[in-house]
Amino acid sequence: MLEFYSGKMSDFQSMFDYFNRFQSLSPASQEAIVNICSSVKIPKNKDLQSIGHTCKTIYFVQNGLARIYYYKDGNDITESFAFENSLIARVESLFTGKPSKKGIQVLEDAEFIGIPSTSLFELYDLHHDIERLFRKIFEAAYVDTVNRIESLQFHSAEERYRSLLLESPSILKRVPLKHISSYLGITQVSLSRIRAQI
Amino acid sequence: MLEFYSGKMSDFQSMFDYFNRFQSLSPASQEAIVNICSSVKIPKNKDLQSIGHTCKTIYFVQNGLARIYYYKDGNDITESFAFENSLIARVESLFTGKPSKKGIQVLEDAEFIGIPSTSLFELYDLHHDIERLFRKIFEAAYVDTVNRIESLQFHSAEERYRSLLLESPSILKRVPLKHISSYLGITQVSLSRIRAQI
DNA sequence: CTGATTTTTTAACATTTGTAAAAGGATTGC
DNA sequence: GCAATCCTTTTACAAATGTTAAAAAATCAG
């Protein structure tokens, strides 16, 4: 049993390192999380979660890269990216229980740890530190989102592009520009013009 | 003591009604919250919280109306509005502990219930249901913010204006258009043009 | 390697939004 | 009530971004 879990724990070490930055967990809580998690490998360009289904799993990106996307008037819009060592979930579905009109697509061959939300929320009753951990994680995500509103509300497209490059210098090498442009709230053509100016 | 708290409870009834929509609270937890809260009355146009200070209080709006604002290149930008029976706080400061570059201004004579965040966070250790309540409140606020990003990312200014009127039909009577325009991410002039077309 | 496909850029033109200034309305304080 | 101030609209012009189409560049599959 020890070996079994120590094996799993080493698979999941990067996730627990990430968790520990928010909230330390008791060994029992860590074990409880390990017991509900599973690994998922998805190749490039495949969907990890498809549009129309209700979000029932939170994923930790072990390596690779994914995006949340949806269609607006037939156009493919990227809502957000998730690089390795971060969480990804369609929260507007996760927290409302309604089907999501968004999907998660893998942009580089990727490995995820899937955390089933129903099981996780049950653990909240048994392990206070797990509820606290995810409270803090989503508070931080909330703050990021508020800051992004500010960016979309009153920064020019060029300012937003420059900021993105500062935040994620590797993004140009890893993500097609068409996804970057919709993430910034502009067209591909417009982004191409901005890049030509710089 | 009973009378004292029942008096306070009736003052705070609207807030607990609001809380109960997210999570029911034990009597002990309700009393604990009442004990840290205080009432604040602020007249129109005054600041409830000023720019530059760290957010240490979450407010419940009992009546009246307020907005979170900041300056970008000397222009006054409205980040959000809070009507009666809702919470308002500068979360990017509340959750990071950093000074906020945003302020809270009262747009109609208003009464607030102030919940000091340090005391509240201490209650999280004593009353699990209080932590759970605020977890759920901020999860819901997070979902609203994600939806607002979608609106800013790919709805036209006219679409955003029409949506706002649907969500808050009374807003035109209660909020100057200059604040509505910056909330929508456009100039006053642009909003005026959109209104002229309709 | 090569043809097919996808991605990115460029061009021309249309539309939206911003900027600055002025005028008209509404509100406020004395 | 009146002057002062603030809010909203209008106008004219400038700048940014969208739309469509086509060409160029990069990537992919066999």
- pLDDT for B153 equals 86
Q: How far is the CA of B196 from the C1' of C23 (A)?
A: 17
Calpha distance A19→A13 (Å, rounded):
10
Q: What are phi and psi of A56, to 5 degrees?
A: -125, 5
Contact between chains at A79 and B148 (C-beta distance less than 8 A): no
Given this model, what pLDDT does residue A2 score? 45
Task: Compute the Cα dihedral for B87, B92, B98, B101 and give only its sign.
Answer: negative
Q: What are the pLDDT digits (tens) for A15-58?
A: 999 999 999 999 999 999 999 999 999 999 999 999 999 999 99
**Is residue B45 in a domain?**
yes
Q: CA A190 – C1' C14 distance (Å)?
A: 15
Contact at 8 Å (CB) between B164 and B156? Answer: no
Nearest protein residue to D15's C1' (by CA)?
A: A156
The answer to whether the CB of A56 falls within 8 A of the CB of B100 is no
Question: A180 CA, C2 C1': separation in Å?
Answer: 31
Q: Is the pLDDT of residue B7 over 60?
A: no
Q: How far is the CA of B194 from the C1' of D8 (A)?
A: 13
Cα gap A140→A15, rounded to integer Å: 16
Q: Domain for residue A105, yes or no?
A: yes
A148 contacts on B by Cβ (under 8 Å): 149
* Contacts A182 to B, Cβ<8 Å: 153-154
pLDDT at A198: 83
SS (H, E, C) B59-101: EEEEEEEEEEEEEECCEEEEEEEECCCEEECCHHHHCCCCECC
Nearest-nucleotide field for A190 (CA, C1'): D17
Q: Does residue A190 sit within a domain?
A: no
Instruction: Yes or no: say if A65 and A83 are a contact pair by the CB < 8 Å rule.
Output: yes
Q: Cα–Cα distance between B118 and B94 in angstroms, integer?
A: 10
The residue in chain B having the minimum alpha-carbon distance to the alpha carbon of residue A76 is B154
Interface residues on B facing A, Cβ-Cβ cutoff 8 A: 70, 72, 75, 77, 79, 91-92, 95-96, 124, 128, 131-132, 134-135, 138-143, 145-150, 152-154, 182, 185
In 10 A of CB A184, how many CB atoms? 23
- Residue B35 one-letter amino acid: N
State pLDDT tens for residues B16-59: 999 999 999 999 999 999 999 999 999 999 999 999 999 999 99
Positive or negative, the CA dihedral B27, A131, A57, A1 is negative
Burial A89-125 (b: 16+ CB within 10 A, else e): bbbbbbbeeeebebbbbbbbebbbbbbebeebeebbe
- CATH number of B12's domain: 2.60.120.10
Contact at CB, B95 and A148, closer than 8 angstroms: no
| Protein-proximal positions, strand C, CB < 7 A | 7-12, 16-21
On whether residue B22 sits in a domain, the answer given is: yes
Place of tokens 């807003």: B171
**Which of the residues A71, A126, A139, A148 would you substitute to probe the B interface, choosing the one with the greatest number of B C-beta atoms within 10 Å?**
A139
- C-alpha torsion A16→A20→A26→A32, nearest 10: -30
Domain count, chain A: 1
pLDDT digits (tens, 9 = 90+) for B76-86: 999 999 999 99
Residue B151 lies in a domain: no
The answer to whether some atom of strand D lies closer than 7 Å to the beta carbon of B155 is no
Contacts for B32-35: CB closer than 8 Å, 24+ residues apart: B32/B123, B32/B126, B32/B127, B32/B130, B33/B115, B33/B120, B33/B123, B33/B130, B34/B5, B34/B8, B34/B9
Q: At what angle do helices A128-154 and A27-36 cross, to 10 degrees?
A: 70
- Cβ neighbours for B145, distance < 8 A, ≥ 6 positions apart: A142, A145, A146, A149
Residues in chain B: 198
- pLDDT, tens only, A54-73: 999 999 999 999 999 999 88
Asked if the structure places residue A37 within a domain, the reply is yes
Residue B163 domain flag = no
Closest nucleotide (C1' vs CA) to A187 is D18
Strand D reaches within 7 A of the B196 CB: yes
Q: Is residue B186 part of a domain?
A: no
Pick out residues 157-196 of chain A having their CB under 7 A from any atom of nucleic acid strand D: 157-158, 185-187, 189-190, 193-194
Confidence at residue B164, expressed as pLDDT on a 0 to 100 scale: 95
Domain that holds residue B44: 2-125
Nearest nucleotide by C1' position to the A192 CA atom: C9
A1 pLDDT band, cuts 50/70/90, is very low
* Percent of chain B scoring above 70 in pLDDT: 95
Residue-level pLDDT at B73 = 86
Taking the C-alpha atoms of residue A18 and residue A21, their distance in angstroms, rounded to an integer, is: 6
Give the number of other Cβ atoms within 10 Å of residue A26's Cβ. 12
Q: In the structure, how far is the CA atom of residue A74 from the C1' atom of nucleotide C19, in angstroms? A: 34
d(CA B26, CA B41): 28
Percent of chain A residues topping a pLDDT of 90 = 89
* Whether pLDDT at B1 is above 70: no
CA A16/CA A18 separation, integer angstroms: 5
Model pLDDT for residues A115-134, shown as the tens digit of each residue: 999 999 999 999 999 999 99
Query: Which among B131, B142, B152 has the least Cβ separation from residue A138?
Result: B142
Report residue B8's pLDDT band, with 50, 70 and 90 as the boundaries: low
CA atoms within 13 A on the CB side of B183: 21
